[in-house]
């Protein structure tokens, strides 16, 4: 009897839900309570500093020493009033999670008295000894220091008893070592490019900000069961496990009623999230058993990213209280859906217009169409970079699998807008518009309905879909930092809008007025980007063939996708808008490749360990039991036969009975076949593990981290499937009480 597994099952099924202590008052009463937001700043910081801070946030002006000191002092007072003892710079290194190093507010005065201290310089800058964060060779170890610098555009917040200050993270020589630095740069660049284009339509627009509403999918597993699975603990996914008798085929989980224990967990983390100003809006069951989703009201991208990072951390911590573990991995279980993080993205003006929302009039719709077409064109030109932006070891299992967006990037826009673009293409041939064409243009643009019907009946299979008033980038991995996708999307759209303005300005004045020039350029873009549009089923085999014919790329693995980051085209693009210099891009490529290698390496070690020290011994134990059984049968029946023969009894009834079941060869046939099967599978598992380890040893000799990642993907990873295949067969063959790990049916259905 495998006691660990059964103890875990027993623990898991006998849980009672922990009733969350969600406040009974209205959410709006405590929303943002733990955030040093606008109203708190106004209360705790002098008027002049409040204004200077606002200018820094709105206009990007620098904050002087005095202002920093005053803000720090206000922050400290507010934090201490709320029972806070420590502060930390909170940043997002390229490891994928957030990082913090806590310092106590207390300081000792020269005469030895303890005081609570927090100065402007402590707020503005820190130098964490961060030699163990990935830097891709940027930060030499002899120069291990990096520094963090305050991001005033994202408000400080209290987490536990700590004041957290969102910061960027740079190397000593000024290169970005995090996600936030380049993200902020792209937001600034996009603002400039989009505002310039808005000026064609509306002179009042002075600023454009990008918006993001993420939808976060996740799985929950009971902690006891989780802790009995080394693969979940160390890699966040199951590396083996036979398919349960029931998966998601009944489709009874999606939008079904949420189990009570899960509901209490959700209420609990939502309450914490509201206090942190995270505007969570929606919760529901997802398609797979024990899979769920949470989504907020969208926000400005930088804030939305911080909130997503914070929420993932929060969900992880709160889950422990409920004896649950939350899995953000893209593919925790084989055979059922994986998890993604849909990034709903748009652009908004300071005049309150959503640039991707069709308006009421032909004029506003030309503006809408301009941004809409430019985004499509941007994706068409740089789909390989978008693919690179979502590449990770975890997401490789999901992209292209039967239920997730494929690795082929295409854009879905719905039938109404397809019709609009087709008409546009047909009617407005390049050149000066005649009066009839002008009339038709007005009419057609005026006809775009404000609320698009496709909104309700949209294509769930597209990796990049227009959903009424925003684009939804669905191929982002559930564990990813959204920044990666947002940095790329912002940059390619910035570039496209910049190009658009150049193209329009080139035409204006010569043969056309501005409107005609816009129409002409849009026409050209609609035609030249047509290939990226696809309205059909992205999961189908036909699409793979069709996409190939269209010349669209279908990059299956992370190492191959990452190579797109360092092409001359990518260098030029990111350098033009000062997002990444060459060194930073190469560093990122290297860091991502190393991360991929490490993940595969760890998984490879775990699967080997599980197979050799758990699965094989359990299988042999069962095999021994079978062998004993066979021996026993032979002994008993063999003996009886001998005895009968020995005493010369010729009893008909007795020989019949012996023929039926007493013939030891017949009786043990089934067992012998199982014994043989076990031997074969055990042998195959062992050989595959050995070969995998040999491959690892060879590849580990390589110096080049990019090549290493590629070989780990090509040479090591395929063994996982082999080993798993035989292990899963053993799982359904051997005595359940001997199986060492919680099975899928327990992980997925104990709620």
Closer by beta carbon to ligand ADP, 298 or else 328: 298
Closer by beta carbon to ligand ADP, 148 or else 364: 364
CB of residue 427 vs ligand ADP: minimum separation in angstroms? 29
Which residue lies nearest Mg ion, judged by its C-beta? Answer: 342
Residues between 331 and 350 that touch ligand ADP (CB under 6 A): 344-346
327 pairs with which residues across the strands? 219
Within a 10 A sphere around the Cβ of 446, how many other Cβ atoms? 14
108 pairs with which residues across the strands? 114
Closer by beta carbon to ligand ADP, 455 or else 677: 455
Q: Which two tokens stand for residue 256?
A: 């079904």
User: Considering CB distances under 5 to 8 angstroms, the limit depending on partner class, which of Mg ion, ligand ADP, none binds residue 295?
Assistant: ligand ADP
Query: One symbol per residue from 215 to 234: x for binding ligand ADP (CB under 6 A), - otherwise; what is it?
Result: x-------------------
State the residues that interact with Mg ion by CB under 5 A. Answer: 342
Which residue lies nearest ligand ADP, judged by its C-beta? Answer: 213
According to DSSP, residue 477 is labeled B
Residues between 282 and 301 that touch ligand ADP (CB under 6 A): 295-298
CB of residue 490 vs ligand ADP: minimum separation in angstroms? 13
Question: What's the distance, CA 313 to chain centroid?
Answer: 13
CB of residue 307 vs ligand ADP: minimum separation in angstroms? 11
Closer by beta carbon to Mg ion, 213 or else 662: 213
Cα distance between residue 309 and residue 261, in whole Å? 24
User: Considering CB distances under 5 to 8 angstroms, the limit depending on partner class, which of ligand ADP, Mg ion, none binds residue 340?
Assistant: none
Select the residue interacting with ligand ADP from 416, 469, 601, 677 (CB under 6 A).
Answer: 469
Is 211 a binding residue for ligand ADP by CB under 6 A? The answer is yes
User: Considering CB distances under 5 to 8 angstroms, the limit depending on partner class, which of ligand ADP, Mg ion, none binds residue 470?
Assistant: ligand ADP
Select the residue interacting with ligand ADP from 2, 154, 395, 467 (CB under 6 A).
Answer: 467
Cα distance between residue 317 and residue 165, in whole Å? 19
Cα distance between residue 333 and residue 237, in whole Å? 7
CB of residue 607 vs ligand ADP: minimum separation in angstroms? 35
Closer by beta carbon to ligand ADP, 405 or else 740: 405
Cα distance between residue 172 and residue 159, in whole Å? 28
551 exposure class (CB count in 10 Å sphere: 0-12, 13-18, 19+): exposed
Query: One symbol per residue from 351 to 370: x for binding ligand ADP (CB under 6 A), - otherwise; what is it?
Result: ---x----------------
Place of tokens 């990008």: 210
According to DSSP, residue 290 is labeled T
HSE-CB of 163 using CA atoms within 13 angstroms: 28
CB of residue 348 vs ligand ADP: minimum separation in angstroms? 7
Closer by beta carbon to ligand ADP, 412 or else 741: 412
Question: What's the distance, CA 617 to chain centroid?
Answer: 36
Compute how many residues bind ligand ADP; rule: CB under 6 A. 15
Kindly tell me the sign of the dihedral angle through the C-alpha atoms of 386, 387, 393, 395: positive
CB of residue 467 vs ligand ADP: minimum separation in angstroms? 6
User: Considering CB distances under 5 to 8 angstroms, the limit depending on partner class, which of ligand ADP, Mg ion, none binds residue 346?
Assistant: ligand ADP
Using DSSP's 3-state secondary structure scheme, residue 339 falls into coil
Q: Which two tokens stand for residue 569?
A: 């085209």
344 pairs with which residues across the strands? 213, 472
Cα distance between residue 243 and residue 336, in whole Å? 9
Closer by beta carbon to ligand ADP, 293 or else 516: 293
Select the residue interacting with ligand ADP from 128, 213, 236, 358 (CB under 6 A).
Answer: 213
Is 459 a binding residue for ligand ADP by CB under 6 A? The answer is no
Closer by beta carbon to Mg ion, 246 or else 281: 281
Closer by beta carbon to ligand ADP, 304 or else 699: 304
Question: What's the distance, CA 598 to chain centroid?
Answer: 18
Cα distance between residue 139 and residue 94, in whole Å? 13
Residues between 600 and 659 that touch ligand ADP (CB under 6 A): none
Which residue, among 222, 158, 296, has the nearest Cα to 18 in the 3D structure?
222
Cα distance between residue 86 and residue 686, in whole Å? 51
Q: Which two tokens stand for residue 160?
A: 């536990």
Find the part of the chain contacting ligand ADP (CB under 6 A) among 46-54, 221-229, 463-471, 602-610. Answer: 463-471
For the chain, the C-alpha Rg in angstroms (whole number) is 31
Q: Which two tokens stand for residue 221?
A: 């597993």
CB of residue 424 vs ligand ADP: minimum separation in angstroms? 23
Binding site for ligand ADP (CB under 6 A): 211-213, 215, 295-298, 344-346, 354, 467, 469-470
């Amino acid at each position: 009897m495998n006691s660990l597994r059964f103890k875990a099952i027993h623990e898991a099924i006998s849980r009672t839900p922990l009733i969350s202590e969600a406040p009974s008052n209205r959410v709006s009463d405590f929303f943002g309570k733990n955030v040093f937001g606008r109203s708190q700043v106004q209360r705790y910081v002098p008027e002049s500093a409040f204004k200077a801070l606002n200018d820094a946030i709105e206009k990007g002006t620098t904050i002087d020493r005095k202002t920093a000191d005053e803000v720090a002092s206000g922050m400290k007072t507010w934090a201490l009033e709320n029972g806070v003892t420590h502060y930390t710079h909170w940043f997002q290194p390229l490891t994928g999670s957030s990082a913090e190093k806590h310092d106590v507010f207390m300081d000792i005065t020269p005469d030895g008295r303890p005081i609570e201290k927090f100065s402007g310089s402590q707020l503005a800058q820190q130098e964490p000894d961060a030699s163990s964060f990935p830097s891709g060779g940027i930060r030499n170890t002899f120069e291990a220091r990096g520094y963090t610098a305050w991001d005033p555009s994202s408000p400080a917040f209290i987490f536990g008893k700590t004041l957290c200050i969102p910061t960027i993270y740079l190397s000593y020589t000024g290169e970005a070592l995090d996600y936030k630095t380049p993200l902020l740069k792209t937001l600034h660049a996009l603002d400039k490019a989009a505002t310039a284009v808005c000026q064609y339509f509306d002179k009042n627009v002075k600023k454009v900000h990008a918006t993001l509403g993420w939808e976060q999918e996740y799985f929950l597993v009971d902690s006891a069961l989780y802790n009995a699975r080394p693969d979940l603990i160390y890699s966040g996914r199951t590396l083996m496990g036979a398919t349960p008798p029931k998966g998601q085929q009944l489709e009874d989980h999606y939008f079904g009623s949420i189990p009570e224990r899960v509901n209490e967990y959700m209420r609990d983390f939502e309450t914490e999230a509201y206090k942190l100003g995270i505007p969570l809006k929606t919760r529901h069951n997802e398609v797979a058993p024990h899979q769920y989703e949470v989504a907020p009201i969208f926000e400005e991208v930088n804030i939305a990213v911080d909130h997503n990072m914070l929420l993932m951390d929060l969900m992880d911590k709160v889950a422990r209280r409920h004896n649950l573990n939350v899995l953000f991995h893209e593919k925790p279980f084989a055979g059922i859906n994986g998890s993604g993080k849909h990034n709903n993205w748009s652009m908004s003006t300071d005049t309150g217009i959503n640039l991707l929302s069709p308006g009421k009039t032909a004029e506003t719709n030309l503006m809408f169409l301009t941004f809409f077409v430019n985004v499509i064109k941007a994706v068409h030109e740089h789909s390989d970079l978008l693919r690179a932006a979502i590449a990770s070891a975890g997401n490789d299992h999901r992209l292209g699998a039967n239920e997730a967006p494929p690795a082929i990037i295409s854009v879905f826009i719905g039938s109404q807008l397809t019709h609009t673009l087709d008409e546009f293409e047909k009617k407005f041939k390049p050149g000066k518009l005649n009066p009839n064409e002008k009339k038709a243009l007005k009419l057609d643009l005026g006809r775009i309905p404000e609320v698009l019907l496709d909104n309700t009946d949209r294509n769930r299979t597209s990796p990049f879909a227009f959903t009424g008033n925003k684009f939804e980038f669905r191929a982002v991995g559930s564990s990813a930092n959204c920044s990666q996708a947002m940095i790329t999307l912002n940059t390619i759209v910035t570039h496209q809008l910049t190009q658009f303005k150049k193209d329009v300005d080139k035409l204006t004045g010569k043969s056309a007025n501005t409107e005609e020039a816009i129409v002409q350029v849009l026409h050209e873009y609609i035609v030249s980007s047509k290939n990226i549009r696809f309205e059909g089923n992205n999961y189908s085999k036909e699409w793979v063939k069709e996409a190939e014919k269209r010349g669209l790329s279908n990059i299956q693995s992370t190492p191959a996708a990452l190579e797109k980051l360092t092409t001359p085209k990518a260098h030029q693009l990111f350098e033009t808008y000062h997002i990444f210099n060459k060194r930073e891009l190469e560093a990122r490529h290297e860091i991502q490749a190393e991360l991929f290698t490490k993940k595969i390496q760890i998984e490879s070690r775990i699967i080997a360990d599980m197979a050799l020290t758990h699965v094989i011994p359990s299988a042999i134990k069962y095999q021994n039991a079978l062998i004993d059984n066979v021996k026993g049968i032979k002994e008993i029946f063999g003996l009886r036969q001998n005895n009968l023969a020995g005493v010369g009894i010729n009893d008909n009834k007795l020989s019949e009975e012996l023929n039926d079941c007493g013939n030891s060869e017949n009786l043990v046939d089934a067992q012998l076949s199982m014994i043989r099967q076990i031997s074969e599978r055990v042998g195959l598992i062992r050989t595959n593990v050995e070969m995998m380890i040999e491959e690892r040893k060879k590849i580990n000799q390589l110096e080049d981290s990019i090549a290493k990642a590629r070989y780990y993907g090509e040479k090591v990873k395929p063994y996982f499937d082999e080993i798993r295949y035989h292990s899963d067969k053993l799982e359904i063959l051997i005595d359940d009480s001997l199986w060492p790990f919680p099975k899928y049916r327990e992980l997925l259905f104990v709620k």
